[in-house]
Structure 1
Amino acid sequence: MTASAVNTAVDTEPWLSLNGREFHSRLILGIEQYTDPALVADVLRAGSCDVFITTFDLEQTRPSLLMSDLDEAVELDDYVWIGTTSFARSRKDALLTARRLRESYGIDIMKLDVRPSDNLPHNAQTVTAAAELMAEGFEVLPFILPDPATASALEEAGCCAVRIMCSPVASAKGVVDERAVRETMAAVSVPVILEGGLGTPAQVVRAMELGADAVLVNTAVAQAPEPARLATSMRLAVEAGRLAADQGLIGPFDK
Structure 2
Amino acid sequence: MIAGRKFRSRLMTGTGKYRSLEDMRQSIAASGSEIVTVAVRRVQTKAPGHEGLAEALDWTKLWMLPNTAGCQTAEEAIRVARLGREMAKLLGQEDNNFVKLEVIPDAKYLLPDPFGTLEAAEKLVKEGFAVLPYINADPLLAKRLEEVGCVTVMPLGSPIGSGQGIKNEANIQIIIENARVPVVVDAGIGTPSEAALAMELGADATLINTAIACAKNPVAMGKAMGMAVEAGRLAYSAGRIPVKVYASASSPLTGTIVGATS
Q: TM-score, normalised by structure 2?
A: 0.82
Q: Does 1:84 align with 2:84?
A: no
Letter in 1 for 2:20: D
Distance in 2, Cα, partners of 1:221 & 1:248: 28
Conservation of the 8 A alpha-carbon contact between 1:145 and 1:164 = yes
Deviation at 1:78, TM superposition (A): 0.8
**Residue aligning to 2:216:** 225
Q: What residue is the counterpart of 1:109 in the other structure? A: 98
Equivalent residue pairs, number: 234
Distance 1:64 1:136 in 2: 33
Over the residues paired in the alignment, what is the CA RMSD in angstroms?
A: 2.2
Tell me the secondary structure at the aligned position of residue 57 of structure 1: helix
Please give the alpha-carbon distance, in whole angstroms, between the structure 1 residues aligned to 2:85 and 2:240.
41
| 1:85-234 matches, cutoff 5 A | 85-106=68-89, 107-117=96-106, 118-234=109-225
Which amino acid in the other structure matches residue 51 of structure 2?
L
Matched to 1:129, the amino acid is A
Identical residues among aligned pairs (%)? 34
Q: Once the two structures are superposed, what CA deviation does each residue of 1:76-115 show, in whole Å capped at 9, x if it has no partner?
A: 2111122111222221221121111123333410011111
Cα distance in structure 1, aligned partners of 2:205 and 2:48: 28
CA distance in structure 2 between the aligned counterparts of 1:17 and 1:89, rounded to whole angstroms: 26
Pair 1:34–1:132, CA change in 2 (3 A): same
Give, as a single letter, the amino acid of the residue that structure 2 aligns with 1:136.
E
Structure 1 residue ranges, 4+ long, deviating more than 6 angstroms after superposition: none
How far apart are the structure 2 equivalents of 1:250 and 1:170?
32
SS in 2 for 1:18: coil
Which is greater in Rg?
2
1:97–1:250 Cα change, 3 Å? farther
Query: Is the CA contact 2:64–2:88 (under 8 Å) kept in the aligned structure 1?
Result: no
Cα distance change, pair 61–210 in 1 and its aligned pair in 2 (3 A): farther
Secondary structure (helix, strand or coil) at the match of 1:25 reads coil
Mapped contact 2:2–2:152 kept (Cα < 8 A): no
Match of 1:39 among 23, 48, 65: 23
Structure 2 SS opposite 1:207:
helix
